[in-house]
Structure 1
Amino acid sequence: MTMKSKSNKDLIEDIEYGLDLRYISKKEQESEAVSLLEARLERIKNLSKDQIIRAKLMQLKLQMEAYVKEPMYDDQNHFSDFLKVYVDTIYSSRSKFAQDINITPIRLSQVINNHRDPKEEFIMKLMIHSEKVYKNVCDFQKRTWYQVYFHEKVCDTMANQEKWRGRLEKEVKLSEALV
């Protein structure tokens, strides 16, 4: 049996889906992918609630760290999206989280739904809460919530220059020429 040469794209796709590179036909690969998915689902069924929460928290941490490393110039609300996942992973109701960090459920709802920016005190409480939650999960940097929040603000400002730049540019002058 001779193996045909695969392109880099095909190899990357195989690695991405965890497929055995010995298979030549697409049918064999699809069959292997189905088997792998079934095995993963079976393993997930046997995980405890705590294991699932730990995995979700680790995934959230990695997503947040990846977000602050990349210049994503969009106007999505990453801070509130990450906050939703964080709260919904740990708590059965958002009001319990609000109670635990001593804010009103209304204030939490306003931050999560982007009706209000979080106050500095809110982010500080979130930082302390996260330290306690992640203590037995994995290493979580204290500054992560701040980094996500301010990274979003910078990216949002850059993504929306067409909305503010023209108006403000008219107000900015250079009275002395620089060489």
Structure 2
Amino acid sequence: MKTRNNKKHELTDFSKFSNKELAEAFVFPSKAPATEKEKKEEKEFFQERRKKFANRTHQQQIYDKLLQLKFQLEDYISSNQYQDVLNFSYFLSEYVNRQDKKDKDFAAEIDIKPAVLSQYLNNYRKPPEKIVFRLELHSNGMIPAVAWYKLLQKDKEHEIMTDSSSRTEESKHIKNKLEFAY
């Protein structure tokens, strides 16, 4: 097996090394077994951590849920994969639910009618730009407007890529289309 060394741009022949030498060069050695004192400290640490986790306030729990949602949203919009279920409606619904709020109360908080919010939540209507700004402001910047907007764009990209009926309909309006051999 040969590989290129980045510094010298020379090929290195690994066949002159034993498997053990190769493993030691690329794998960190395991730590020595913990002493009884270290085991006790580790156990106490995790007990204290579980206790703090169990005693979080309601606000801290909501914050944790929203932070988790933010990371899920960012991971999704940065991926190249499209998933029908992970659309704007899904993330908006999760945003509202993770705050333990009723749709009517949330609609009032961002100054829209409950029926309009319902249309966004059920994917019957796409929100205008002002709504993504309101969502950013409502989350106090935790979930930026750009993230919400990219989510809408991802939905639109998929719609454009898969909409063959519109292509067929619009092709009736094209004359003298360019002809190229690919």
- For the aligned pair, the TM-score class normalised by the smaller chain equals 0.5 to 0.7
8 A contact 1:72–1:155 mirrored in 2: no
Structure 1 length-normalised TM? 0.61
1:116-155 → structure 2 map (5 Å cutoff): 116-130=125-139, 132=140, 134=142, 140-155=143-158
Cα displacement (A) at 1:45: 4.3
1:1-179 → structure 2 map (5 Å cutoff): 45-76=54-85, 78-130=87-139, 132=140, 134=142, 140-158=143-161, 160-174=162-176
Distance 1:70 1:77 in 2: 12
Cα displacement (A) at 1:95: 1.1
Higher relative contact order (CA 8 A, sep 6+): 1
- Unaligned runs of at least 5 residues, structure 2: 1-46
Cα displacement (A) at 1:156: 2.7
8 A contact 2:133–2:145 mirrored in 1: no
Letter in 1 for 2:152: Y
Evaluate the alpha carbon distance shift between residue 169 and residue 84 of structure 1 in structure 2; reply closer, same or farther with a 3 A threshold.
same
Distance 1:141 1:102 in 2: 18
Give the structure with the higher percent helix. Answer: 1
Identity %: 32
**Tell me, what secondary structure is at the counterpart of 2:80?**
coil
Cα RMSD, aligned residues only:
2.9
Cα displacement (A) at 1:75: 3.6
Cα displacement (A) at 1:133: 6.2
Greater CA radius of gyration, 1 or 2?
Answer: 2
Letter in 2 for 1:167: E
